Amino acid sequence: MVRAQSEALGVEAGAADARTAIHGFRGDPDFMASLARGLAVIRAFHDQPQKMTIAELSRRTGIPRAAVRRCLYTLTRLGYVAPSERSFVLTAKMLSLGHAYLSSTPLVVAAQPLLDRVTARLHESSSLSILDADAVLYIARSATQRIMSVALQVGSRLPAYCTSMGQVLLANLPPPLLEAYLARTPLLAHTPHTITVRAKLLQVLLAVRQNGFAMVDQQLEVGLRSVAVPVHDSSGMVVAAINASAQSSRVSLTELEERFLPVLQSSALDLSHLL
């Protein structure tokens, strides 16, 4: 189910890029719709381990096949995409685009050693994410064993409303932005524990903002628990969230709050001082 949701987020992100490219900046002489379409095609490969055809990319982005074909031709000539029979795959050269961000962003550079220390101390995976559109985007991670049905890594996206980092980031949005998010986002039930009522989610988010942390118990995937805290920049603004996750059969909610939370709070404070 998590993989299906992740794929849906990829489709939604690509389609949103395409809509922006076609409609969002109509009349703006400086906006390059062709570049936006190319980026939408690249993002359509998100969480797709297999090859993608022109038809599949067109479906995922909402871009006409002829335009998708031109994007792929250009990306192939530049070395970012390679043809494979009637399909296309991303090449390793695509990593250079992500590396440019990861190697030049102070938040990511400073976070990795802190996450490694959190993981070493708690013996559980820890991550750092930001809010990207309506999803949490993983920008740093220190993993132990795999505890989810889908492997998480830098660049992974998960729904914000049912993840601990997502709830932290949503809780610290300005009220108008939070209201807009709640109005447009379908609250799908990933497990029997997922909050699917907007009024209840809003109540939870208000408590998260007041308490300074979010604890999620099996809302995204059965058997998965996590706790997250905000990361502030020098002005006090919340710029990211850091979490630790564990299997519910191994770590209780009490242990999450009493042992995990202080470690995360201390690490988030250290990271804030470096920004």
Phi/psi of residue 159, nearest 5 degrees: -60, 140
CATH number of the structural domain 2-93: 1.10.10.10
Residue 239 is predicted with a pLDDT of 93
| The pair of three-digit structure tokens given for residue 86, joined into one six-digit string | 């009637």
With beta carbons less than 8 A apart as the criterion, state whether 161 and 167 touch. yes
> What is the per-residue pLDDT across 239-256, written as a single tens digit (0 to 9) for each?
999 999 999 999 999 999
Q: How far apart are CA 173 and CA 25, in angstroms?
A: 25
The one-letter amino acid at 209: R
CATH architecture for residues 105-273? 2-Layer Sandwich (3.30)
Handedness of CA 216, 141, 102, 91 (dihedral sign): negative
pTM: 0.70
Please tell me the least confidently modeled range out of 46-60, 66-80, 178-192. Answer: 46-60
> What is the per-residue pLDDT across 70-93, written as a single tens digit (0 to 9) for each?
999 999 999 989 998 889 988 888
SS3 166: helix
Q: What is the average pLDDT score of the chain?
A: 85
Paired with 66 in beta bridges are none
Domain boundaries, the chain: 2-93, 105-273
